Amino acid sequence: MRKTGAGLGALGFTLLWAGGLAAASQEDAPHGYRIAQELLVGDGTVLEVLEDRRITAQLHAQSWGSGLDEETFDESTDSEHQPQLEARVRLVSDFGEVLAEQALGYPLAKVEKAPLSGLPYPAFFLTVDQTAPLGTYSGPATQILLPTQSRLEPVRYRAEDGKQHPLVMAQTGKAAWQILPSASGATESIAQVSSAPASEGDDFVITYRIYRWVDGQWIASSRQQPGYWDMESEFPAPSAFP
């Protein structure tokens, strides 16, 4: 049984890497998994990332952003008899009860405290490495979690048409995002730039999108213009975003 309790909760937002965990903590992992990360939420609960036990911390670091398939595993493992497991994220109480769990669809993931100020609840970035072996339109995708409010449901934003969508930021060969500073006391904005072929012809268009925290919700604004942007380009100046 895990014992984080109030004592650990008082430490605030503390990151514990699997390499420094006690053996008993790893015993709480489901069959075939290792606890790759543990992050204290601040209310006594723990946010965990689970990965295939054959993915060591070193292999995770080496494979991040370049794709990982079963051939990457060392030949001495039994990977040929066991399919690669997708990463999972879960929220665990201080007594070891799993409060929520979500499969992530890909083998590599990580979580960190979101450096966003002025929000009413603790926010975390969950990043899933969706990098494909070939192509420049795939890569790590980051979403925002509010574990104390929505468990593991990703934060949603209101688009310009009024519809709600999951807020996911892409980091690929043709997309990038940054946190933009805001006025004192205000929540930082998140800027996303991307380029893709135009609907007609061989030209490209650049999309500038920004997410702002307004009246208790995330709201997106965007604009497009002809042009091309990729990872070799400078990230646009804040004035480029609407």
The predicted-structure confidence for 133-190, as pLDDT tens digits, reads as follows: 777 889 999 999 999 999 999 999 999 999 999 999 999 999 999 999 987 778 999 9
Return all residues near 179 (Cβ < 8 A) that are at least 6 apart: 115, 116, 188, 189, 190, 191
The mean per-residue pLDDT over the stretch 189-207 comes to: 91
Tokens (6 digits) for 98: 């799993």
**pLDDT bucket at 80, cuts 50 / 70 / 90:** low
Burial 191-216 (b: 16+ CB within 10 A, else e): bbbbbeeeeeeeeebbebbbbbbeee
Residue indicated by tokens 């609960």 = 45
Share of the chain above pLDDT 90, in %: 68
Report the relative pairing of strands 156-158 and 140-145 from DSSP bridges.
unpaired
**pLDDT bucket at 20, cuts 50 / 70 / 90:** very low
pLDDT of res. 10: 34
pLDDT of res. 76: 46
**pLDDT bucket at 191, cuts 50 / 70 / 90:** very high
Residue 6's SS3 state is helix
